[in-house]
Amino acid sequence: MMADEHKNANRITHWIDGASWDGISARAGDVFNPATGQVTGRVDLASAAEVDAAVAAAAGAFPQWRQASLTARTQVLFAFRELLNARKEELAAIITAEHGKVLSDALGEVTRGLEVVEFACGIPHLLKGGFSESVSTKVDVYSIRQPVGVVGIISPFNFPAMVPMWFFPVAIACGNTVVLKPSEKDPSAALWVARLWQEAGLPDGVFNVVHGDKEAVDQLLEHPVVRSVSFVGSTPIARYVYENGTRAGKRVQALGGAKNHMVVLPDADLDLAADAAVNAGFGSAGERCMAISALVVVGPVADALVGKIRQRMDGLTVGDGTRDCDMGPLVTEAHRDKVASYLDAGTAAGAELVVDGREHKIDGADEGFWLGPTLFDRVGPDMSLYTEEIFGPVLSVLRVETYDEALALVNDNPYGNGTAIFTNDGGAARRYQNEVEVGMVGINVPIPVPMAYYSFGGWKHSLFGDSHAHGMEGVHFFTRGKVVTSRWLDPADRSSGPAGIGRDSAVNLGFPTHD
């Protein structure tokens, strides 16, 4: 970038201990508006020292936050919920300016994040333990859940608000303190959220943000005070984070990439299926971990379905997310070029290019990172169009003869994040939800993102670790269970004199049993 551009670019700093914190590493990255191709910000990239400062702030805030009453914690959460709800348009505008997704979609992302905040507002109920009276004579047993301490969250570019919100409302509600490292591609949303927490009354140091890349991530993974890491991103980095985080003794949940299949049976409502394929294939320019990228059509309905999809694609508007378009640009020029390269690869491999996104009319600046919606038919399972996660507006149709072939395709795929089946046969749908090896399943629903009170997460290479995000799995991830066995003598049984006098001696070196 030119020196002039740097001069005008807004500096995006860290947020540590309740204040913005200039980076000391002298490393910084460009942040773009993908719809204009212009640099709009320079984000500080943390070295180990900045991560250490954020972790120290979080560790310093932990003892008091962990002791804050449930009433005090929920008051902050409710205040945060109210502020976020009242000002969600501001956050959506920040997302659109750095990610590129259209405003309505950005608002949808914030709304889904808000649902997790609302779930976390119920923490007094969620943290209730069990109590068993008189498991033995005058002995009771009860369970409690306590926070784990300083938790790290590392998030991807495609949901700069929602994905961090899958974790931090629950983590904070449970009494933990947080260091968030958002994607360096669209970092401003995290800073805006940090200020909102402060406004909501969260004590300084409970929520910290460090910007950065591998250097910051590695320090979070190694830092002995960081007790857990919640990661979302591509599969190779998710695996790396899981392996290194667990090696360093941390609890890790690492959500990875995806290749989501939508299976259409011959009896499906084809108009419903066509709408769903277009919405789930091209929403957010295909940059969703739950986007549909493989459409598996069973039997003779493929021609009809492809025709209906093509018809709908003609009507899609692509352009600047601040205008009234259906789809925005891709996040960076490099990513746009990579996604576009699959169009040549697909054609060369023999797939039929039905709609070429490079020819789509664009309502935006020439320098934006554009690629219109693209449809391939007759894609083979060995083609890179199918074997790789493209993460762009490219939908591939695979034709199969039977349900069993469709199921085998989905189950043989290394990813297992989301899938959908379209059919009017309840028995077939039921069989699919039973047999498919995927974490989130939609039946005539194309993007089956679970509500906040269920848990989000895939199977196979889409998730490393045992815990999915939010819901009760989130509460368990951010707490440790403790079971207390207690005996209180009845006042009538207590000795009034020296120990032992007034009741029979009960010395017994055998293993405790119950009576």
Residues at the site binding ligand NAD, with contacts judged by CB under 6 A? 154-159, 163, 181, 183-184, 213-214, 217, 232-234, 237, 240, 255-258, 289, 389, 391, 417, 458, 462
* Residue 368: CB minimum distance to ligand NAD, A: 19
Residue among 327, 92, 88 nearest 186 (CA): 92
CA distances from 241 to 206, 219, 221, 416, 461 (A): 23, 11, 7, 19, 13
* Residue 293: CB minimum distance to ligand NAD, A: 10
* Residue 191: CB minimum distance to ligand NAD, A: 15
* Residue 354: CB minimum distance to ligand NAD, A: 24
Phi, psi of 318 (to 5 degrees): -120, 130
Whole-angstrom distance, CA of residue 1 vs CA of residue 444: 47
Token digits of residue 28: 């910084």
* Cβ neighbours around 124 below 10 Å, total: 13
List residues bridging with 376 in a β-sheet.
353, 396
Q: Which of 121, 174, 289, 325 is catalytic?
A: 289
Is 174 an active-site residue?
no
State which residue, 289 or 298, has the beta carbon closest to ligand NAD. Answer: 289
State which residue, 177 or 462, has the beta carbon closest to ligand NAD. Answer: 462
Residue found by looking up tokens 């349900």 in the block: 403
State which residue, 187 or 346, has the beta carbon closest to ligand NAD. Answer: 187
Residue among 14, 12, 16 nearest 53 (CA): 16
Whole-angstrom distance, CA of residue 368 vs CA of residue 366: 6
Residue nearest to ligand NAD (CB): 233
State which residue, 150 or 274, has the beta carbon closest to ligand NAD. Answer: 150
Whole-angstrom distance, CA of residue 402 vs CA of residue 436: 15
Whole-angstrom distance, CA of residue 41 vs CA of residue 396: 36
State which residue, 214 or 323, has the beta carbon closest to ligand NAD. Answer: 214
State which residue, 76 or 91, has the beta carbon closest to ligand NAD. Answer: 91
* Residue 286: CB minimum distance to ligand NAD, A: 10
Token digits of residue 394: 């490219």
* Residue 75: CB minimum distance to ligand NAD, A: 31
* Residue 180: CB minimum distance to ligand NAD, A: 10
Query: 3-class secondary structure for 437-490?
Result: CCCEEEECCCCCCCCCCCCECCEECCEECCCCECHHHHHHHCEEEEEEEEECCC
Token digits of residue 433: 């939800």
State which residue, 217 or 302, has the beta carbon closest to ligand NAD. Answer: 217
User: What DSSP string runs through 98-114?
Assistant: HH---HHHHHHHHHHHH
Whole-angstrom distance, CA of residue 142 vs CA of residue 364: 61
User: What DSSP string runs through 240-303?
Assistant: HHHHHHHHTT-EEEEE----EEEEE-TTS-HHHHHHHHHHHHHGGGG-STT-EEEEEEEGGGHH
State which residue, 334 or 483, has the beta carbon closest to ligand NAD. Answer: 334
* Residue 280: CB minimum distance to ligand NAD, A: 14
Token digits of residue 466: 């045992």
Three-state DSSP state, 19 = strand
Among all residues, which ones are annotated catalytic? 289
